């Protein structure tokens, strides 16, 4: 049995049955059979189930938001935002899936014709993260299902109740049980999935686990996609229209979901001409955040989801201070029950410090002064990750010049920490390989078959 705890009060929420290698193999066999019939349905029929699923999620949003908040500690308003926001993936599929899954016919020369058919991969494993289980889950399993695959979905152990609720709603919406199965368990259960014979592995999580998966499944020679972490930089130029607005937006990018977003702003560079004013507004904004009970409507900062992260954050703070950083706010856990870490702001930081180099994935930010764009570019590029990079400025050309230099899957001008289904979501280097969302994100769950024919 696996125990699920509430991170805001450390109380046991529920004990649930874990999968074993025998139940996983049983589920895999069911999925193999189910996938054959599922793939024979039209895209419209499959899409209809997903649209019904979307309606059910909206109807049950109160209960689902409660579940999400109880097991992850996400403030309740942010749970509602996530569930509502993720619906844009369903709309995206509604308007685009048929177009992208249709055959491409190419009229050839001299009576020879060619066609590309987009066939499903088969039965795919989706090993997922807990920080945005609706967003990152939908990016994979909804797109995979619409493309005709069966899915073994392993939610993170910290989002298992949400995973089970998602499965129940998919079944109610008409997705057969032998087409979607939830696999419950910790990392060891994920490991069993790697040993089983899936036709593709789609992972969202940390770089170390992603690398392990890549190595483990390499001999199978099946598609592997990895959506991993980041150390995403934001550069504030001195020409921003309003320094206060820039500071408010930057703070939200850094602290939304307690900083536990793959594309959270993880380090900020500010032009020296506005540095002091920016830091003052930033501090004022973060000091105003309501911290505490995630069930309370006004709460903006709840507990961290995982207890272990408290040590990592404390270590980053200690390391920075020992190397000369100035602690403006926070810096430690909050007393009492629950995995609360005070929102933390550090200045006088540099790239010798862990906080500017290693993913924090929590409510902590380093703000560094820069002299000019060249220095900002150099620092922004000084990372092994490549998820997103952002610039706030009124000068589009100048911002684009900086963003062009970034080796990241996404760049933002005057916005940050956002994902849209219209464009691909992808990381480079230690941030991953492959793309979800957009046309590429649906084709990711297919394999092309080239068909040549000649009329005789």
Rounded to the nearest whole angstrom, what is the least distance from the CB of residue 234 to ligand NDP in the complex? 16
Q: How far apart are CA 190 and CA 438, in angstroms?
A: 27
Element (H, E) at 80: helix 76-101
Ramachandran region, residue 338 (left: φ > 0; alpha: ψ -120 to 50; beta: rest): left
Q: How far apart are CA 433 and CA 441, in angstroms?
A: 12
Radius of gyration (C-alpha) of the chain in whole angstroms: 23
| 418 phi/psi in degrees, rounded to 5 | -140, 155
Which of 33-41, 93-101, 151-159, 173-181 is the region at the interface with ligand NDP (rule: CB under 6 A)? 151-159
Q: How far apart are CA 176 and CA 198, in angstroms?
A: 19
- In the shown chain, the binding pattern of residues 251 to 290 toward ligand NDP, with x for contact by CB under 6 A and - for none, equals -----------x----------------------------
Catalytic residue, from 49, 262, 263, 416: name it.
262
Rounded to the nearest whole angstrom, what is the least distance from the CB of residue 359 to ligand NDP in the complex? 6
Task: Using CB under 6 A, count the residues that bind ligand NDP.
Answer: 32
Rounded to the nearest whole angstrom, what is the least distance from the CB of residue 394 to ligand NDP in the complex? 30
Say if residues 152 and 140 touch (Cβ distance below 8 Å).
no
When binding is defined by CB under 6 A, the residue of 228, 246, 376, 403 that contacts ligand NDP is 228
**Whether residue 262 lies in the annotated active site:** yes
Q: Judged by CB, which is closer to ligand NDP: 35, or 128?
A: 128
Say if residues 370 and 272 touch (Cβ distance below 8 Å).
yes
Cβ neighbour number for residue 265 with a 10 Å cutoff: 26
When binding is defined by CB under 6 A, the residue of 131, 169, 344, 446 that contacts ligand NDP is 131
| 111 phi/psi in degrees, rounded to 5 | 75, 10
Rounded to the nearest whole angstrom, what is the least distance from the CB of residue 109 to ligand NDP in the complex? 43
Q: How far apart are CA 156 and CA 321, in angstroms?
A: 33
- In the shown chain, the binding pattern of residues 419 to 438 toward ligand NDP, with x for contact by CB under 6 A and - for none, equals --------x----x------
**Please, which residues bridge with residue 267 across strands?**
233, 366
Residue 224 binds ligand NDP (CB under 6 A): no
Residue 127 binds ligand NDP (CB under 6 A): yes
When binding is defined by CB under 6 A, the residue of 71, 293, 359, 417 that contacts ligand NDP is 359
Q: Judged by CB, which is closer to ligand NDP: 259, or 338?
A: 259
The CA angle 422-403-258, to the nearest 5 degrees, is: 65
Catalytic residue, from 227, 266, 358, 359: name it.
227
Say if residues 16 and 160 touch (Cβ distance below 8 Å).
yes
Q: Pick out residues in 173-212 that bind ligand NDP (CB under 6 A).
A: 186-187, 190-191, 194, 204-206, 209, 212
Buried b (16+ CB within 10 A) or exposed e, 149-166: bbbbbbbbbbbbbbbbbb
- In the shown chain, the binding pattern of residues 377 to 416 toward ligand NDP, with x for contact by CB under 6 A and - for none, equals ----------x-----------------------------
Q: How many residues does the chain have?
A: 456
Give contact residues for ligand NDP (rule: CB under 6 A). 127-132, 136, 154, 156-158, 186-187, 190-191, 194, 204-206, 209, 212-213, 227-230, 262, 359, 361, 387, 427, 432
Q: Which positions are catalytic?
A: 227, 262
């Amino acid at each position: 049995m696996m125990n699920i705890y509430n991170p805001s009060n450390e109380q046991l929420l529920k004990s649930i049955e874990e999968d074993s290698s025998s139940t996983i193999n049983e589920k895999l066999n069911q999925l193999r059979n189910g996938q054959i019939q599922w793939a024979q349905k039209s895209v419209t029929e499959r899409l209809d189930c997903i649209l019904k699923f979307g309606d059910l999620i909206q109807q049950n949003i109160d209960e689902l938001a409660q579940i999400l908040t109880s097991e992850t500690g996400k403030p309740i308003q942010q749970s509602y935002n996530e569930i509502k926001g993720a619906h844009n993936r369903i709309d995206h599929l509604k308007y685009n899936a048929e177009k992208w899954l249709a055959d491409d016919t190419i009229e050839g020369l001299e009576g020879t014709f060619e066609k590309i058919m987009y066939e499903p991969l088969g039965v795919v494993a989706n090993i997922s993260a807990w920080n945005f289980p609706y967003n990152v889950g939908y990016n994979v399993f909804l797109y995979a299902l619409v493309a005709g695959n069966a899915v073994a979905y392993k939610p993170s152990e910290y989002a298992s109740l949400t995973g089970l609720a998602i499965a129940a709603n998919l079944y109610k919406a008409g997705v057969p049980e032998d087409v979607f199965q939830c696999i419950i368990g910790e990392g060891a259960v994920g490991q069993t999935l790697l040993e089983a014979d899936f036709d593709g592995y789609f992972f969202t999580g940390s770089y170390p686990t992603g690398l392990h998966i890549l190595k483990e499944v390499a001999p199978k020679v099946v598609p592997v996609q990895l959506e991993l972490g980041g150390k995403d930089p934001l550069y504030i130029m001195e020409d921003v229209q309003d320094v206060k607005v820039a500071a408010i937006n930057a703070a939200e990018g850094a602290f939304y979901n307690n900083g536990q977003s793959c594309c959270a702003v993880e380090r900020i560079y500010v032009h020296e001409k506005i540095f002091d004013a920016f830091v003052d507004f930033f501090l004022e904004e973060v000091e105003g955040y309501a911290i505490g009970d995630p069930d309370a409507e006004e709460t903006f900062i709840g507990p961290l989801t995982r207890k272990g992260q408290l040590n990592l954050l404390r270590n980053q703070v200690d390391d920075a201070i020992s190397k000369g950083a100035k602690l403006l706010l926070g810096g430690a856990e909050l007393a009492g029950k629950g995995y609360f870490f005070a929102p933390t702001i550090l200045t006088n930081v540099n790239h010798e410090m862990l906080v500017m180099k290693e993913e924090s994935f929590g409510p902590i930010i380093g703000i560094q002064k820069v002299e000019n764009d060249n220095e900002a570019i150099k620092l922004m590029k000084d990372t092994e990750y490549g998820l997103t990079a952002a610039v706030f400025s009124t000068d589009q050309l100048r911002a684009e010049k900086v963003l062009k230099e970034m080796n990241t899957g996404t760049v933002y001008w005057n916005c940050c920490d956002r994902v849209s289904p219209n464009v691909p979501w992808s990381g480079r280097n230690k941030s991953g390989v492959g793309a979800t969302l957009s046309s590429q994100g649906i084709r990711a769950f297919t394999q092309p078959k080239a068909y040549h024919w000649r009329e005789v």
